[in-house]
Amino acid sequence: MKRILTGDRPTGKMHLGHFVGSLKNRVSLQDEYETFIMVADVQALTDNYNNPEKVRDNVLEVTMDNLAVGLDPKKVTFFIQSQIAEIAELTVLFMNLVTMEKVMRNPTVKTEIAQKFKDGSVPFGFINYPVSQSADILFLRTHLVPAGEDQRPMVELSRDIAEKFNATYKTDVFPLPDLKVGEFGRLVGTDGNAKMSKSLGNTIYLSDTPEEVEKKVMSMYTDPARIKATDPGHVEGNPVFIYLDAFAPNDQRSTINDLQTRYRGGQVGDIEVKKYLAKILNAFLAPIRARRAEYEQNPDLVREILRQGTEKTRREAVETMKLVRKAMKIDYFA
């Protein structure tokens, strides 16, 4: 069976953007692939090194969010990145296979540096994290990475490193991983920003209460040129309608088509459309909230899922490193 590797930085609870970008694919693929979910605490520390409590506190949070959307711990392996020492070893070996210029051309890295390190003082660990992320992907000899479109440069770098390793050492240790992006790729934020992000404060969390969801939806950005309900409105690019397309069940399609027609014709106001969206989102989130509540009441079960998964993953990592050392002629005591 082919393998999936994907994961999340434990810096906060997960939101609708995560669901659209990756979580939905994880759930649908868990029966077809051997699936590993990494809680990427080492990655999180690259820009939270001075706040390790934040990272530690969110390890269970992101695990519960994954479980809540329907990932089955009997089918899916959850593990904590920092507990797999072989990833760090592989990162060091991979650093010889990629140039600094290539890493710095990565658009995701450039964007995050601009957002998070405005004073220009960037930890080297952050600059190096694309190489570390390649090790994250490849140490399990992964075939598929379900992730958001913004992760494409990272997966492409992983492919480049795998290809160069295999060619340099005349081996086939690493398959070339592919990226699988969700149907919508990237969900805009509630403020109309191109990406929903914790750091931008434009999120609807999977764990938000019905009241919190309604409050956020009612304050959503729509069509700035529309002053009153009788003004013709734009549906294309309108976050409210984007969310309806992403989360409304198929049996609501005729209602959405009607709202779109009336919105374009100035026959329905933003408030009515937003109230409908809040209803749709809360219906979508209700079973997720219910599953999450069960895990919140039993945190020891979540820890045990992580412990067992990490032990299993470590065994796989050891096997990969045996193959790597043999290919590189550094298996001195094998």
Burial of 266 (0-12, 13-18, 19+ CB in 10 A): middle
**What pLDDT is recorded for position 21?**
86
How confident is the model at residue 195, as a pLDDT?
A: 84
Tokens 């990629």: give the residue: 98
- Cα-based angle 143, 149, 151 (whole degrees, multiple of 5): 60
CA dihedral 70→76→77→78, nearest 10 degrees, is -10
What's the pLDDT score for residue 183? Answer: 76
For position 123, what pLDDT does the model report?
Answer: 82
CA distances from 65 to 14, 37, 169 (A): 6, 12, 40
- At 319 the pLDDT is 98
Structure tokens at 306: 């992580």
Kindly list the distances between the CA atom of residue 242 and the CA atoms of 186, 190, 198, 239, 246, in Å, as whole numbers in the listed order: 11, 10, 19, 5, 6
**Closest to 137 measured CA to CA, from 146, 127, 126:** 146
Topology of domain 208-292 in CATH is Tyrosyl-Transfer RNA Synthetase (1.10.240)
Contacts of 81 (CB under 8 A, 6+ apart): 7, 38, 39, 40, 41, 42, 43, 87, 136
Separation between Cα atoms, residue 321 and residue 319, nearest integer Å: 5
Ramachandran quadrant class, 240 (left: phi over 0; alpha: psi -120 to 50; beta: rest): alpha
pTM: 0.90
Q: Assess if CATH 3.20.20.70 describes domain 3-187+299-327.
A: no
Give the DSSP letter of residue 23.
I
| 8 Å CB contact between 5 and 34 | no
Cβ distance 103 to 127 under 8 Å? Answer: yes
Give CA 152 to chain center in angstroms.
12
**Which residue in the block uniquely carries the two structure tokens 């992000």?**
197
pLDDT at residue 108, as a whole number: 80
Q: With beta carbons less than 8 A apart as the criterion, state whether 180 and 27 touch.
A: no
Across-strand partners of 7? 38
Domain boundaries, the chain: 3-187+299-327, 208-292
Residue 98 contacts residue 133 (beta carbons within 8 Å): no
Determine the residue type at 130: P
Residue 311, classed as helix, strand or coil, is: helix
Six-digit token pair at 156?
């492409």
Can you say whether the dihedral through the CA atoms of 32, 35, 25, 154 is positive or negative? negative
pLDDT by position in tens, the chain (length 334): 899 999 999 999 999 999 998 899 999 999 999 999 999 999 999 889 999 999 999 999 999 999 999 999 999 999 999 999 999 999 999 999 998 888 888 888 888 888 888 777 888 888 888 999 999 999 999 999 998 788 899 999 999 999 999 999 999 999 999 999 877 768 999 998 878 988 888 999 999 999 999 999 999 999 888 888 889 999 999 999 999 999 999 999 999 999 999 999 999 999 999 999 999 999 999 999 999 999 999 999 999 999 999 999 999 999 999 999 999 999 999 8
Q: What is the DSSP string of 186-200?
A: SPPPTTS-SS--GGG
